[in-house]
Structure 1
């Protein structure tokens, strides 16, 4: 029965794709018909469709460093997403993005992002206007279900590595001005994936967050930027509120970045404060990212150095464990074994382009606990192991390699491998090595 419903969902998405194509064709066919009745209204609308289908195979050996009930697991998952957009005179738009996902072969219990029957990933209305009295400033207001991605995904991402992306029910107001300036303000609640079709919903009474996020020109020069932001989070079921009372956490930060070659960089500083239960929160993180692109050298090698210092603490006094909010799970490597909490790491890597459509990435990541008295955390934010009994801090060394090939303008193939060699801080709590392999194909339309 479940399989029939899943395939019915796939058929529904294909039908939506076909109907939208038909609508667009109908509009084109009627373009030469004299206006009359409702035809001028129809001709003022523009219809578009886009989407993708992705199939991915993943294999784990030593899941969660062997700390769980099942050591080895492998599966294939597939998703299809179709976005339909109806736009009126470039000022008003109605957008819906349908999603469907299925997984085969997983031995561990399915997590909510693993599968979804047909549902709305996005469903929003958008109004945009140029403010004549303010030069070329543009005001955009968007309300409804939507995806949110800011910066490099350290705090707000779309959960791309999972089978189903993360969406939020949100109200967003965005003001953009001269090149390089944009200020967004929004209030949102993450959408939880349910078992049935068209039943996903948010729970703002349980999890709610709000933000002001600005992207500004940097004083370091043209095409250099600085992000300034504030994010508030209220979570009534926080893992840090063991005795109840929920969590109220405030995050302020700044990101300095540029993608202008040959020297590229992406550096971020974050401070968190608030309260959970009867404990005050004081946490933070600093992230360094700098690289150099050798543009005139064969294969255009890019040498990069990344490093993170992410706070952790102990079970007494103030809470110093950093909360990564809605981070990208595979931020550190393809496997995404650890969550950016109670951690510091050094990550040199190299990127190569043996062909304009092929990119190879190789790197090694050395990881330590920030505090041996705090836990080891895995994505999305869960405790994998308790404090190190002897104060050991070295979590181990992760070796990572990935290859992506843009086979056509709409087709991308990729493979990735991560081997994490457990350090003393993992072995002291019963953990061990972990391996990960993935291969995927993604087709856009």
Structure 2
């Protein structure tokens, strides 16, 4: 408790020193050049913008994050995991330096330390990665201008595209994910185009051991168009994946998969919408891939009311393998999705699934919000199993005959007094459906969690 109050007071003090420049999910997208004209003198401004030349075109900026999480599960993994009476603590530390040398060259370095304490089993590398070089890339601006830019980026970096259904920084888990990549970024008024070739960086548990790895190659192109008539915003993309070893219910083997997708999204003070469809094709262990998903998220906010209540519904249909041993794989691969894909707890992954997900939010004060959501999960195909968010198979299709996976109810309070500090208290109850009872112990899960995050 003393730690929370100390961090809160520190965040409140820092917030007074540098207002108006928000933190971003991708910290390398933050721009502090506006501080070059700030004549005030304080240590936080010097931390965020330290000029190296008289013209202030060369400068360095520092930042970071500290996150503490506590989780307690009753009947973790629906009763398969050992009973843990005390819960466990996850801690994440991020620190970065952003160096700009003139208007053409820039390099960004970030360290990450993810620690897990109190887990009964050996923590996975996603929960515990003692310390590693998380990002280290260089930019060279081939074209600079007020309205258009073309940048070549080379090195280890985070990716985040669209709704993060397929490509995410993986914020919810303890260890964020990165790629060793060569990337070309073109930005124009109301449009952005990314083309890249990369290799996924798998997390390893020890010190500075997340080396270059060729097991998973990832390439593609992503285009975003803004101010589109009728649709407001659209994304069009192609993503390619080649992975040496992938495990599905159908088999295990080499996977070469191509994903083509389109997304329409937009918002105003009342309405929010996000509609996306994806088709996948390729080859897996001698089988032809034919998989797909369609999703929609629509919400309405009563913006004129005092607490601005919002009501919405999400729904997704995600293909699973229809028939075994037919030479065709229909299981959808979510590639590199965000961790908490459905609701507040990361229990079910986006493969072989039909999901109906109503939710609501209300602003109790300017700093406090309350969210509640309810999920209904069904297997899309009874011949395919269910998968975790990371793609790991939880139970094979033959473990049961029912398509009913379960129901999930989640609620959370969010406290955001300023841009530096964030506190969340959440609770999730998962009622196991008939398939989980057929496949395993099938006990209901209760999870409570607390998250405290401090950014600078």
TM-score (norm 2): 0.85
* 2: CA distance, partners of 1:321 / 1:137: 40
1:196 match: 206
Offset at 1:244?
Answer: 5.7
User: Cα gap change, 1:373/1:40 in structure 2, threshold over 3 Å: closer, same or farther?
Assistant: closer
Question: Is the counterpart of residue 322 in structure 1 residue 332 in structure 2?
Answer: yes
Q: 2:97 aligns with which of 65, 84, 106?
A: 84
Q: Within the alignment, does 1:111 sit opposite 2:124 as a pair?
A: yes
How far apart, CA to CA, are the structure 1 residues paired with 2:379 and 2:331?
Answer: 11
Inter-partner Cα distance in structure 2 for 1:361 and 1:79: 24
* Aligned partners of 2:132 and 2:207 also within 8 Å: yes
Structure 2 residue 386 is matched with structure 1 residue 376: yes
Instruction: Report the secondary structure of 1:157's partner residue.
Output: coil
Unmatched runs of 5 consecutive residues or more in structure 2: 1-42
Equivalent position SS for 1:236: strand
Deviations 1:293-337 (A, max 9, x none): 110112101111100000001432210010010011211111110
Report how far residue 390 of structure 1 moved.
Answer: 5.8
Question: How far is the alpha carbon of 1:226 from its aligned partner?
Answer: 0.5
User: Structure 2: how far apart are the matches of 1:85 and 1:151?
Assistant: 24
Kept after mapping to 2: 8 A contact 1:87/1:93:
yes
SS of the aligned residue for 1:235 comes to strand
- Is the 1:388–1:425 Cα contact (8 Å) retained in structure 2? no
Q: How far 1:136 sits from its partner (Å)?
A: 3.0
Q: Is the 8 A contact 1:307 1:346 kept in 2?
A: yes
Conservation of the 8 A alpha-carbon contact between 1:266 and 1:289: yes
Runs of 4+ in 1 over 6 A off after TM superposition: none
**Paired residues of 1:388 and 1:428 also in contact (CA < 8 A):** no
Residue 242 of structure 1: CA displacement? 7.2
Q: Does 1:93 align with 2:115?
A: no
The aligned counterpart of 2:61 is 48
2:220 aligned with 1:211, yes or no? Answer: yes
- Paired residue secondary structure (1:126): strand
Q: Deviations over 1:364-415 (max 9, x none)?
A: 1111000111101112111111225663111111001111111333111111
Give a deviation string over 1:75-113, Cα, whole Å, max 9, x none: 101111011011122321111011112111001221111
Q: Offset at 1:158?
A: 1.1
What residue number does 1:35 align with?
A: none
Residues 138-157 of structure 1: pairs in structure 2 closer than 5 A? 138-157=149-168
**Residues in 2 aligned to 1:417 and 1:23: alpha-carbon distance in whole angstroms:** 38
Residue 260 of structure 1 and its aligned partner are, at CA, apart by 2.1
- Once residues 158 and 414 of structure 1 are traced to their aligned partners in structure 2, the CA distance between those partners, rounded to angstroms, is 20
Over the residues paired in the alignment, what is the CA RMSD in angstroms?
Answer: 2.3
- How far does the alpha carbon of each residue in 1:216-275 deviate from its partner, in whole angstroms, 9 at most, with x for none? 1364448x2100000000000111397665000000001110132211101110000111
Q: Which residue of 134, 138, 148 maps to 1:121?
A: 134
SS state of the match for residue 203, structure 1? Answer: coil
Q: Does 1:294 align with 2:299?
A: no
- Specify the SS of the correspondent of 2:218: strand
Q: How does 1:267-346 map to 2 (within 5 A)?
A: 267-313=275-321, 314-317=323-326, 318-346=328-356
Counterparts of 1:243 and 1:369, CA distance in 2: 19
In the other structure, the counterpart of 1:229 is: 237
1:246 paired residue number: 254
What is the alpha-carbon distance in structure 1 between the residues aligned to residue 403 and residue 252 of structure 2? Answer: 30
Q: How much has 1:356 moved relative to structure 2?
A: 1.3
Question: Which deviates more, 90-99 or 243-252?
Answer: 243-252
How many matched pairs?
A: 409
Give the direction of change, closer, same or farther, for the CA distance of 1:40–1:166 in structure 2 (3 Å limit). Answer: closer
Q: 1:193·1:201 contact (CA, 8 Å) conserved in 2?
A: no
Task: Give how far 1:119 is off.
Answer: 1.5
| Aligned-partner Cα distance in 2 for 1:23–1:266 | 37
In the alignment, structure 1 segments of 5+ residues that lack a partner are 1-20, 32-38
Partner of 1:361: 371
1:61 equivalent to 2:74? Answer yes
Q: Counterparts in 2 of 1:32-47, with a 5 A limit? A: 44-47=57-60
* SS of equivalent residue, structure 1 residue 110: coil
